[in-house]
Amino acid sequence: MNRLHLTHITFIFCTAISVALISCQDLSEFDTQQIDQVLQADKIGSSESWGFRLNLMDEGRKVLDLEASYAKFVENNEESFTEISGPILITIYDEATGELQSTITCDSALYRSSVGVFEMYYDVEINTMEEKILRSDYLKWQRFQDRMSTPLFVTFIAPPDSISALGFEGNTDLSEYTLNEGGGTVVID
């Protein structure tokens, strides 16, 4: 009789536990929506790389090489971008010929690959094959349009001339450019 009573109690206990577990699994529609919203908002992917190298090619031609100390790729529902820390060296090649066109150095950068935009920060310097140099603390490069710009102070050197200005817009080989509000030294032969 004792054994039957113990079996009966065990059965009742297991049944009660099973009912409790099943009722806990049934979330309300509101609870399910709340959990889904939290999980969707948290879908941020990221990866890191030390000793970062990026080589961009377009139709079999080298477009640019980038070397940096560190990079962090971040992707969420709205956008993807790469935060790059330096020192950074970007080598730009002419897209038509594949010839070396310019080099850019800077301390840090942000690259938005979907729109082809680099934003470069701190000690930005462009050196072209024609020995032209542009220096600033910020430079935005719209790679697909071959346009560079900054609203900040720049120093533009085209030996033997040197010009300082507040604002710049031009292309990556510095063959076409506009300097705003500036002055400098021009050597006339």
pLDDT tens, N- to C-terminus, the chain (189 residues): 445 455 556 556 555 555 544 554 445 566 555 545 444 444 456 778 888 888 888 777 888 888 999 988 888 777 788 889 879 999 988 877 888 889 999 999 998 887 888 899 999 999 999 999 999 999 999 988 889 999 999 998 888 888 888 888 988 888 888 888 765 555 544
Count Cβ atoms within 10 A of the Cβ of residue 127 and give its class: 0-12 exposed, 13-18 middle, 19 or more buried.
Answer: middle
Q: What is the pTM of this model?
A: 0.69
- Strands 161-170 and 177-179 turn out to be antiparallel
Domains with residue ranges and CATH for the chain: 44-145 (2.60.450.10)
